[in-house]
Amino acid sequence: MADRNNHLASRGGERLYNGIIKENPTLVLILGMCPTLAVTTSAINGIGMGLSTTVVLLLSNTLISMLRKFIPDRVRMPAYIVIVASLVTVVQFLLEAYVPALYEALGIYIPLIVVNCIILGRAEAYASKNPVFPSAMDGLGMGLGFTCSLTILGMIRELLGGGTFLSNGATAVFTIPQSVYTPANIFILAPGAFIVLAFIIAIRNRVIRRNQEKRSRENRKESV
């Protein structure tokens, strides 16, 4: 039993690592580009979109994994869409009714989550073929990976395009004085999103490749 628990825990950890680093949905799988490019004008926006997607992804992966034996293979897509859309709508109702402040902040992102292809992508690629616990962890990992990428992207765009750091619109943690740096509006607009995203992907690829080369060199040495 302890062995089984250990196994489950390590599998969960592997899923988290996979979602955040190895198969990061934004930077590696290049999924969910619409919300990624559209909402990351500030770091706070990125965190908001990322965390609300994480919650839905965790729930949808869990539900779809639970129902994976019941859902017929040939009509799985409409079944997934119905489940995800219902889930998002229920979350939206509950937020609007009982947590209006959070709804006010996340309101515009919630309908966007339904059409986020990460959710359908993970349902199809993972949750439909795996048990509940790893599927839930996969959802959590993918969600957190999405959140991390969006936050970094938002942070860079906000800094270059608005001259602020972690601003919620009215107040910021710090603001670069206009005399030191004049914000370049293009980073707030769509072209800036593409440019910054491309650089982040390039840097991530380079770091990962370096690590792999280092590891394979070490392996070679050991074998000699």
Partner 1 sequence: MNNSIVKDAMRLFIITLISGIILGFFYDLTKGPIEAQEEKTRTQAYQTVLPDADRFEMAADTAYSSDIEMQMQPFLNRAGYTSDSISGLVIASKAGTYSGVALTVTAHDGYGGDIQFSVGILPDGTISGISILSISETAGLGMRAKTDPSFLSQWTGMKQKSFDLVKTGGDPAAGTVDAISGSTVTSRAFQRGINAALIAFENLQNNDITTAGGVTIG
Q: Which residues contact partner 1 by CB under 8 A?
A: 39, 41-42, 45, 67, 70-72, 74-75, 78-79, 82-83, 86, 89-90, 93-94, 96-98, 100, 158, 161-162, 168-170, 185, 188-189
Nearer to partner 1, 45 or 54 (CB): 45
Shortest distance, position 47 Cβ to partner 1, whole Å: 14
Contact (CB, 8 A) for 64 and 71: yes
Nearer to partner 1, 89 or 205 (CB): 89
Shortest distance, position 86 Cβ to partner 1, whole Å: 4
Q: Is 174 left (phi over 0), alpha (psi -120 to 50) or beta?
A: beta
Shortest distance, position 16 Cβ to partner 1, whole Å: 29
Nearer to partner 1, 137 or 196 (CB): 196
Sign of the alpha-carbon torsion through 203, 116, 103, 51? negative
Shortest distance, position 70 Cβ to partner 1, whole Å: 6
Nearer to partner 1, 10 or 175 (CB): 175
Nearer to partner 1, 168 or 212 (CB): 168
Shortest distance, position 5 Cβ to partner 1, whole Å: 32
